[in-house]
Amino acid sequence: MEKEITLKINGEEYTQKVEPRTLLIHFIRENASLTGSHIGCDTSSCGACTILIDGKSAKSCTILAIQAQGKEITTVEGLATTEGVHPIQEGFKENHGLHCGFCTPGMMLRAVELLEKNPDPTEEEIRWGISGNLCRCTGYNNIVKAIKYAGAKIRGAELPSTEPVFVE
Amino acid sequence: MIPASFDYSAPSTLKEALNLLKDIGDEAKILAGGHSLIPMMKLRFAEPEHLIDISNVPGLSYVNFEGDHLKIGAMAREVDLEDSKEVGEKFPIFHDVAKLIADPQVRNFGTIGGNLAHGDAANDQPAVMIALDAQVEITGLDGVRTVGIDDFFYGFYATAVQEDEILTGINIPVPTGRFGNAYHKSERKVGDYATGGVAVHVELDAEGTCTKAGIGLTNVNPTPLRASRSEEALVGAKLDDTTIESAAQYASEDCNPSSDLRGSEDYKRRIIKVLTKRMIHKALERAQ
Ligand SMILES: Cc1cc2nc3c(=O)[nH]c(=O)nc-3n(C[C@H](O)[C@H](O)[C@H](O)COP(=O)(O)OP(=O)(O)OC[C@H]3O[C@@H](n4cnc5c(N)ncnc54)[C@H](O)[C@@H]3O)c2cc1C
Ligand code: FES
Ligand code: FES
């Protein structure tokens, strides 16, 4: 019952035969050998498998590879260019936005769409915006800072301080 | 978890999709956003033999005001309502509900049609559609029929959409006078289904007397529930504290919640009472 599908991941075209039940996350990790996107919960709760489909953030553990037929996928491996890292990657690096890093690829892809829609989000908008992504390490504060930083970078505004903030 | 094997088609016209449904029969299932169906298939709660993906069928993703109706295509995504300024102005209730449905990634994919067709009392759009008195457009090979929202939800995961039919659109009347609407649900954490949720829509005349009221309840009955007694308490009255209090009391008495991980029956009735009160007040504020 295999069907041939063609889709683009990070600009590269993949044409492969898959069973319709193949999940997109498995296609990305196993068929395309791009293991940056993670599987955390496998139940559309944690966001570790978040990728972009035609620019929209999506949980690839709850989408069939065949549903992505003809679409353009972006994973964390596609964020950096020859010019350097993506502003969101710089934001995470400068603000210590990760500890173990398991949630990070999904968090960054989600943030890319969030900033695409609104490059100057408030803290509340950022927290609602990443409500589908769980992080068990950072406590989120540095992730919020990282996204603010990336927004400023994208807007060409003054970069916010990367000094740690101590909560009283 | 990987679903059991199935075959897959992605027809490019509605007619083709309906013909496939007819030919394959009850082993086929429509795939819209897949964000209710695929999780169920992964858990083997559903094992359809054939999925008919309707995302390539053109003309089902509209959201627009036409005449005195707001028209929503079955394949419009939750995010389309959330992002529409125009929808938010007349129906802020859709912005209330969108924010409470799962999370941004799920809302990018989940469709309004799927949210209703799934027939799950835990989904949030059904209560909103009840409050707004929506009409559901259902298409079969013989043509289109329209079903009022009160005749749409049959039972647990069962709706008026028959095996050889496709839900194609939702029409919502836009009132002309003063009106307001609001939705809220209590949830254990962001992204959870409702412990209980309440949708309220009220229409008022120039003196502030309520001329029409719609109240829908989420996840406190086997099917999405209309709180009829509460609506009756509001219509023809000035919405003062006593009136609102009794409408809220009726809603808490008339729902049928069961005790589960989200709370005891008694707790859920209290949630419904408080939320009904708050949502009537909020709808009223918005109607000023
Ligand atoms: C983690 C998570 C959390 C969620 N939380 C919430 C929540 O808090 N509140 C909420 O309301 N929802 C929630 N959802 C559900 C989500 O909103 C679903 O997307 C929605 O209920 C179904 O829409 P869909 O397009 O994904 O439908 P699908 O999953 O594709 O379909 C669902 C069912 O409806 C049928 N169907 C779909 N479209 C049609 C049609 N046009 N005609 C005939 N039959 C059709 C399918 O055959 C299937 O049986 C959540 C989902 C996830 C994954
Ligand atoms: S693995 Fe997809 S959301 Fe957790
Ligand atoms: S950095 Fe470890 S889960 Fe987020």
What's the burial of B46, exposed, middle or buried (CB within 10 Å: 0-12/13-18/19+)? middle
CA distance B252 to B229: 11
Question: Beta strand pairing status for A3-9 and A12-18?
Answer: antiparallel
Domain boundaries, chain B: 7-53, 63-173, 181-287
- Residue among A133, A136, A143 to mutate when testing ligand 3 (max atoms within 8 A of CB): A136
CA distance B143 to B124: 29
CA distance B63 to B77: 10
Determine whether the interchain pair B5/A1 forms a contact, defined as Cβ–Cβ distance below 8 Å.
yes
CA distance B282 to B285: 5
Q: Which of B155, B144, B87, B163 is nearest to B121 (CA)?
A: B155
CA distance A29 to A83: 26
CA distance A31 to A48: 18
Q: Which of B60, B72, B54 is nearest to B170 (CA)?
A: B72
Give the containing element (helix H, strand E) for B279: helix B265-286
Quick check: do A3-78 and A87-155 share a fold?
A: no
The class of domain B7-53 in CATH terms is alpha beta
Tokens of A16: 């492969």
* CATH number given to B181-287: 3.30.390.50
Instruction: Give the other-Cβ count within 10 Å of B235's Cβ.
Output: 13
Q: How far is the CA of A105 from the centre of ligand 3 (A)?
A: 10
pLDDT per residue of chain B (288 residues) written in tens, 0 to 9: 899 999 999 999 999 999 999 999 999 999 999 999 999 999 999 999 999 999 999 999 999 999 999 999 999 999 999 999 999 999 999 999 999 999 999 999 999 999 999 999 999 999 999 999 999 999 999 999 999 999 999 988 999 999 999 999 999 999 999 999 999 999 998 889 999 999 999 999 999 999 999 999 999 999 999 999 999 999 999 999 999 999 999 999 999 999 999 999 999 999 999 999 999 999 999 997
Q: Which of A45, A63, A64 has the CB atom closest to B191's CB atom?
A: A45
A87-155 is classed in which CATH architecture? Orthogonal Bundle (1.10)
pLDDT tens digit sequence for A93-132: 999 999 999 999 999 999 999 999 999 999 999 999 999 9
Which amino acid residue places its CA nearest to atom 3 of ligand 2? A44
The correct answer on CATH 3.30.465.10 for the domain covering B63-173 is yes
As a whole-number percent, the residues of chain B with pLDDT over 70 amount to 100
Q: Which one is the CATH code of A3-78: 3.30.70.1290, 3.10.20.30, 3.40.50.2300, 3.10.150.10?
A: 3.10.20.30
Domain boundaries, chain A: 3-78, 87-155
Q: Are B50 and B42 in contact (CB under 8 A)?
A: no
